[in-house]
Amino acid sequence: MAEINPMPLYQRMLAEMGPQHWWPAETKMEIVIGAILVQNTNWKNVDLALQNLRQATQLNPKRILKLSNSQLQQLIRPSGFYVHKAKSLFEVLAWFDRYDNQFSEIVNQYSRAKLRQALLNLTGIGEETADSLLVYVFDQPVFIADKYARNLFQFLGYQNINTYAKLKRRIKLPSNFKSQDAKEFHGLIDEFGKQVKTNDQFKQSFLNGFSLRKQTSLG
């Protein structure tokens, strides 16, 4: 199937909606923790869990790792699925701790593909979470093919992109697509998706009539 260059779509959305300044966090470690806690829940519940963790540990990963399993579960209980998420947090934070939580050092030791695979090997890290960490923690220019993105491209007329992997394989980012672009694009897509959930709503949006198929240059 033909590759999709999403750059014109990103430029149109950015011009219309403006910068989104995602991810909503103060530190990269907060992003790591939030990316695990947000699975299968909404950000309001994540905020409650983060508040608990912040009060108990200041979100210091070494302090979190010293908690007992039951303590961590209780702190993150508002996020739901807390038994599984506690196990994932312990494993993920222990992995980062091996590199003394130096994100640049981790990037230096892995190619992008191998870093993604290393993340996927950790408990509780799926494709969406791995790519989110690549973008927001490791500053890599990759595309996050989440549900909002799949919905958007379906609205735009693309088919056979109903899974994360299927859309991911179709996207071809241009060479001038930077990590900041990846951060903004994901934020734009998700904010758009929160407002536009049906075909009728899409037809009323600024993207009605927009077509990527006319764009043949990958830049």
| Interval 169-203: pLDDT, tens | 999 999 999 999 999 999 999 999 999 999 999 99
Interacting residues of 213 by C-beta distance below 8 A, sequence separation 6+: 157
CA 125 – CA 133 distance, rounded (Å): 10
Considering the chain, what is the average pLDDT of its residues? Answer: 94
What per-residue confidence (pLDDT) applies to 219? 36
Can you tell me whether residue 13 is helix, strand or coil?
helix
Neighbours of 21 (CB within 10 A): 9
Spatial contact of 61 and 95, defined as CB atoms under 8 Å apart: no
CA 215 – CA 209 distance, rounded (Å): 14
CA atoms within 13 A on the CB side of 128: 15
Neighbours of 29 (CB within 10 A): 18
Averaged pLDDT for residues 16-21: 94
CA atoms within 13 A on the CB side of 61: 22
What per-residue confidence (pLDDT) applies to 206? 97
Share of the chain above pLDDT 90, in %: 92
Neighbours of 50 (CB within 10 A): 22
The whole model's pTM is what?
0.92
pLDDT tier for residue 24 given thresholds of 50, 70 and 90: confident
CATH number of 28-136: 1.10.340.30
CA 210 – CA 181 distance, rounded (Å): 20
- Domain range summary for the chain, segments of one domain joined by +: 7-21+143-203, 28-136
Averaged pLDDT for residues 126-136: 97
| Interval 80-101: pLDDT, tens | 999 999 999 999 999 999 999 9
